[in-house]
A and B are shown apart, each in its own frame.
Chain A
Amino acid sequence: MNKTVNQKAWFLVLPVLLLVAFNAIVPLMTVVNYSVQETFGNNVFFWAGISWFEDVLRSPRFHDALGRQLTFTFTILLIEVPLGVIIALAMPRKGIWVSVCLVLMAMPLLIPWNVVGAMWNIFALPEIGLLGKTLNAIGFDYNYTRQTGDAWFTLILMDVWHWTSLVVLLAYAGLVSIPDAYYQAAKIDGASSWAIFRYIQLPKMKRVLTIAILLRFMDSFNIYTEPSVLTGGGPGNSTTLLSIDLVKIALGQFDLGPAAAMSLIYFLVILLMSWIFYTVMTRDEANQ
């Protein structure tokens, strides 16, 4: 059978194409352009080939920042995902408390990121902050501006406070979509609450949890504002995550070439890891 050929339909794709071009492809290409050139200012550029990429990949500074980034991301994932699921399970399913809980949960998500950073910066100050002062008063030698461990503790606590809600909301959405009949059927079978969680709630939440983990992974890998306001990457370089290091190189030292090369590697790392995450988490369904 002959299909009607109508190429005019392509015009409908044009707006999206233009939009994506301007907000993604063009900026990305600019970065690609910088990453293969050297400049000493005055808009004069020299061809540098892939030397920047080699430099970045070999530099211990990049390795350290990447290591810190991975530690941060996996720590917060290990805390936020189980914690989010536990909170979602504990939330009421009906009644007026549902909206109260949802609003309370959504609150941290509504606060601008730099405000979160500033809040925790003050909150954790050992001399005047509520958290810092309390910790010192009960006998901990706590000072996040000077001690690496304390800085990490504060950074992770802040992220957990800020973002666990996202996991809670997604997990909760997954939970309330389970028909009542499943719980009744389990009750008739005499299933324990662990069995209900293991065989009904968890499998039914799988899809939303996949999304939650992916979102939290990407966002935490991209995180900049909050740690930058909280610790500025310090003390020393101890909390300098990839994005903070990138800004230091690009805007602090104005090394456009290495910064561009690093951006691209950074981007590829996120892309690759998201793909791995997604493939692993959806492998079950793909097999079937």
Chain B
Amino acid sequence: MLELKNIAKRVGAETHIHPTSLEFKPGSFNILLGTTLAGKTTLMQLMAGLEKPTAGEIWFGGVDVTGVAVQKRNVSMVYQQFINYPNMSVYDNIASPLRVGGVDSAEIKRRVGAMAELMRISAMLDRRPSELSGGQQQRTAMARALVKDSDLILLDEPLANLDFKLREELRDELPKLFGTRECVVVYATTEPTEALLFGGVTAALHEGRVADFGPTGDVYRQPATLTGAQVFSEPPINTVKVNKSGDRVSADGNVNWAAPADLPDGDYIVGIRAHHIVPVETPGSVPIDGTIKIAELSGSESMVHFDAFGSDWVSLSHGVHPFDAGAAATLYADMSACFYFTPDGKLVRSGETGGGR
């Protein structure tokens, strides 16, 4: 088990990681979700031991490893860039951690062969990394990370530099690779969809703080904080300040809808994901009148940015719904699916499941 106990990282006057405590279980797949500069890479470097925390302790398997050098911990890391030794063959690249570890050559041969099989690069073992495609280079880097039995495997946006097709392919294979291992896997990504696909446990990071931590589905459907919901929404979640009194919820008198019965009176921030605002009226939906700013139509989805009573809204819907920029339009929000947060951003009620977590 990997435990971060109140670790913090400051560089000069800048705080990169605010005091953070997290626990990762052996055999678990953990996701660090956050935008660029959220602190994902720094947190991973702290876990690996490449950086020392300025405060707090890191424990692994019940032992304090805070001051232990990276090469003495049993860690592997895969990076966004395809990091391989440039003038070694793919075989030698994959074998390199085993050679440093003093494994005998018959065993190296067996393990490299098996790993290459698993990564589907058996035919490329004699080549140099520069002769491979990006996907194959990253497969080599992953093989290098997985070939030794690390206790901790860190993957720092490993698919970000790959094109869409390769990314989907590797994304499908990844969870299978770790299936039987007893190690802690930590995977950093900027994409909420990727987190949802992998499942496991997600830590939503924002500006060096953990906004939410828990099973991925729970973090998505019942985000503990507004920040967590914002990190876990793509396109961005719509927010609006509302007031609930009696049986109505009203957004500054512009629109109002029936309040959920279990919600106490008071001020709230409502968060509603883009796919719950659509151009077609559904039973019980709340009409929002606005002005279209941008309409992005892909083959099967329409994303519409519009302006309504002074704030920006995003709608994401199935099918093609043409809109002209600048035109007035009415979109329909399914407020039964929205989140209610307190004004300081704590979840009070989740529309997807009812209640909090």
Residues of A within 8 A of B (CB): 179, 181-182, 184-185, 187-191, 199-200, 202-204, 288
Cβ–Cβ < 8 Å partners of B86 in chain A: 199-200, 203-204
Q: What 16 additional pairs, Cβ within 8 angstroms, besides A179-B81, A188-B50, A199-B87?
A: A181-B80, A181-B81, A184-B45, A184-B48, A187-B71, A188-B77, A189-B71, A190-B100, A199-B85, A199-B86, A199-B88, A200-B86, A202-B87, A288-B127, A288-B128, A288-B130
Q: B150: shortest Cβ distance to chain A, in Å?
A: 9
Q: B145: shortest Cβ distance to chain A, in Å?
A: 9
Cβ–Cβ < 8 Å partners of A204 in chain B: 86
Q: Does B216 contact A (CB under 8 A)?
A: no
Cβ–Cβ < 8 Å partners of A179 in chain B: 79, 81, 83
0/1 string, B302-329, CB within 8 A of A gives 1: 0000000000000000000000000000
Cβ–Cβ < 8 Å partners of B96 in chain A: 189
Cβ–Cβ < 8 Å partners of A185 in chain B: 77, 79, 83
Cβ–Cβ < 8 Å partners of A187 in chain B: 50, 70-71
Of chain A, the residue at the smallest CB distance from B99 is: A189
Cβ–Cβ < 8 Å partners of B81 in chain A: 179, 181
Given contacts A199-B88, A288-B128, A288-B131, contact A188 B83 (CB under 8 A): no
Cβ–Cβ < 8 Å partners of B356 in chain A: none
Q: B317: shortest Cβ distance to chain A, in Å?
A: 40
> Which of B83, B85, B100, B128 is in CB contact (< 8 Å) with A181?
B83
**Assembled-state Cα–Cα distance A181/B100 (Å):** 19
Interface pairs A-B: 5 shortest CB-CB:
A190-B71, A203-B87, A181-B79, A203-B86, A199-B85
Q: List 27 A-B contacts (CB under 8 A).
A: A181-B79, A181-B81, A182-B83, A184-B45, A184-B48, A184-B50, A184-B77, A184-B79, A185-B83, A187-B50, A187-B70, A188-B50, A188-B70, A188-B75, A188-B77, A189-B96, A189-B97, A190-B71, A190-B100, A191-B100, A199-B87, A199-B88, A203-B85, A203-B86, A204-B86, A288-B127, A288-B128
Q: Does B76 contact A (CB under 8 A)?
A: yes
Q: A102: shortest Cβ distance to chain B, in Å?
A: 23
Of chain B, the residue at the smallest CB distance from A200 is: B85
Cβ–Cβ < 8 Å partners of B127 in chain A: 288
**Assembled-state Cα–Cα distance A200/B87 (Å):** 8
Q: B120: shortest Cβ distance to chain A, in Å?
A: 21
Cβ–Cβ < 8 Å partners of A199 in chain B: 85-88
Of chain A, the residue at the smallest CB distance from B84 is: A185
Cβ–Cβ < 8 Å partners of B85 in chain A: 199-200, 203
Of chain B, the residue at the smallest CB distance from A204 is: B86
Cβ–Cβ < 8 Å partners of A190 in chain B: 71, 100
Cβ–Cβ < 8 Å partners of A200 in chain B: 85-86
Of chain A, the residue at the smallest CB distance from B86 is: A203
Cβ–Cβ < 8 Å partners of A184 in chain B: 45, 48, 50, 77, 79
**Assembled-state Cα–Cα distance A190/B72 (Å):** 8
Cβ–Cβ < 8 Å partners of A191 in chain B: 100
0/1 string, B78-121, CB within 8 A of A gives 1: 01110101111000000011001000000000000000000000
Cβ–Cβ < 8 Å partners of B48 in chain A: 184, 188
Cβ–Cβ < 8 Å partners of A182 in chain B: 83
Given contacts A181-B79, A181-B83, contact A189 B100 (CB under 8 A): yes
Cβ–Cβ < 8 Å partners of B83 in chain A: 179, 181-182, 185
Of chain B, the residue at the smallest CB distance from A191 is: B100
**Assembled-state Cα–Cα distance A187/B77 (Å):** 11
**Assembled-state Cα–Cα distance A288/B132 (Å):** 11
Q: B229: shortest Cβ distance to chain A, in Å?
A: 31
Cβ–Cβ < 8 Å partners of B97 in chain A: 189
Cβ–Cβ < 8 Å partners of B76 in chain A: 188
**Assembled-state Cα–Cα distance A184/B51 (Å):** 10
Of chain B, the residue at the smallest CB distance from A184 is: B50
User: Could you tell me if A188 and B71 are in contact, using CB atoms closer than 8 angstroms?
Assistant: yes
